[in-house]
Amino acid sequence: MNSILLVDSEIVPSTALQSTLMQFGFEAELATSATEAHTWIKKSQFDLILVEFDLSPRPNGEMAIEPSSSAVGSWSGTGLIRELRASGITAPILVHTALEGDLYETASLDAGADDYIIKRPPISTLLSRIHAHLRRRERDLGLAAKAERRSRIGRFTLDRKTRILLADETPVMLSNREIRLLEKLASSPSRIFSQNEILDDVWGDDLRNSPIALASCIKRLRQKMEKSGLADPIENLRGKGFKLAASILHKN
């Protein structure tokens, strides 16, 4: 499980983001200041670090205004990044901020950040950038095989290690059997798979191999998707078999 250190002085939104990252299978720790960030890094090793550009406290939730070029260097976000790089931290550091402008981005990248990401929905944008940097990091460390744990299920992404289906912006926790069922259908999205073919491949020699087991698995999967506000992922063609539903292949 990849670990992320989130450094942000705005407690409410950063706590919400921490919770979201954990939902998507990351170990996430929160530091609300540069000092706390150094404390975390001394006792833990992180695969990726997310840093807010402006770490100064804003008790009234006020947003910083465009600074002059001379003021940018004194802001603690870029200062923290420089300190981390100077101390030998090589993990990806991403600036995640609501502040837009070339001056902010240039200052962040010059300080040693690997990316500059604006805080705006959807969360899937941030997650995609995080995964891209983690994959690059794994390749650099000779761990590229880890990337094979992620696969496409129609227009969604499946992480086998965390057993999470990333459906648009919604994480859906799946069982191993549900994962194998979806992967079987996704292996040929336009094809109709017979009941026996699915049972042979997904259940194999398991004593629970039966039409009832398949029906129960599909029912549980549908309930999970419905609970998350998502459409039925499996189309049942009476007398023929099952295939991925159009809802999982294309956006409505």
Q: Would you say 37 and 46 are in contact if contact means Cβ atoms under 8 Å apart?
A: no
Average pLDDT, integer, range 104-128: 90
Instruction: Please identify, among 102, 123, 142, the residue that sits at the C-terminal boundary of a domain.
Output: 142
Residues 164 and 137 in one domain: no
Average pLDDT, integer, range 123-141: 83
Residue 163 has a pLDDT of: 81
Cα–Cα distance between 113 and 109 in angstroms, integer? 5
Band of pLDDT at residue 142, cut at 50, 70 and 90: low
Instruction: Please identify, among 81, 108, 142, the residue that sits at the C-terminal boundary of a domain.
Output: 142
For the stretch 145-179, pLDDT in tens is: 444 567 788 888 887 777 888 877 788 888 989 99
Q: What percent of the chain has pLDDT over 70?
A: 88
Cα–Cα distance between 192 and 33 in angstroms, integer? 54
Residues 154 and 107 in one domain: no
Residues 128 and 231 in one domain: no
Residues 135 and 161 in one domain: no
The residues, any chain, with a CB within 8 Å of residue 28's CB and separated by 6 or more, are 3, 4, 5, 6, 18, 21, 22
Q: Would you say 164 and 153 are in contact if contact means Cβ atoms under 8 Å apart?
A: no
Residue 137 has a pLDDT of: 82
Which range among 28-42, 59-73, 91-105, 124-138 shows the weakest confidence by mean pLDDT? 59-73
Cα–Cα distance between 39 and 183 in angstroms, integer? 42
Residues 176 and 131 in one domain: no
The secondary structure element, H or E, covering residue 157 is: strand 156-159
For the stretch 36-94, pLDDT in tens is: 999 999 999 999 999 999 998 655 444 444 443 433 433 579 999 999 999 999 999 99
Residue 167 has a pLDDT of: 79
Helix, strand, or coil here: 212?
A: helix
Band of pLDDT at residue 242, cut at 50, 70 and 90: very high
Residue 74 has a pLDDT of: 39
Higher-pLDDT residue of 97 and 57 is 97
Residue 147 has a pLDDT of: 46
Residues 126 and 22 in one domain: yes
> How far, in Å, are 178, 242, 249 from residue 197 at the CA level?
15, 10, 21
Measuring CA to CA, which residue among 193, 188, 21 is closest to residue 94? 21
Q: Is the dihedral of CA 209, 243, 171, 134 positive or negative?
A: positive
Residues 12 and 91 in one domain: yes
Q: Is the dihedral of CA 89, 91, 97, 102 positive or negative?
A: positive
Residues 81 and 38 in one domain: yes
Average pLDDT, integer, range 193-218: 91
Instruction: Please identify, among 142, 160, 192, the residue that sits at the C-terminal boundary of a domain.
Output: 142
For tokens 């859906």, what's the residue?
172
Model's pTM, two decimal places?
Answer: 0.63
Higher-pLDDT residue of 223 and 159 is 223
Q: Could you tell me the residue range of the domain that residue 111 belongs to? A: 3-142
Q: What is the CATH number of the domain that holds 184?
A: 1.10.10.10
Q: What is the CATH number of the domain that holds 87?
A: 3.40.50.2300
Cβ-based burial of 168 (10 A; exposed 0-12, middle 13-18, buried ≥19): middle
Residue 135 has a pLDDT of: 81
Residues 135 and 153 in one domain: no
- Is the pLDDT score of 12 beyond 70? yes
Residue 197 has a pLDDT of: 94
The residues, any chain, with a CB within 8 Å of residue 219's CB and separated by 6 or more, are none
Here the tokens at position 58 are 């804003």
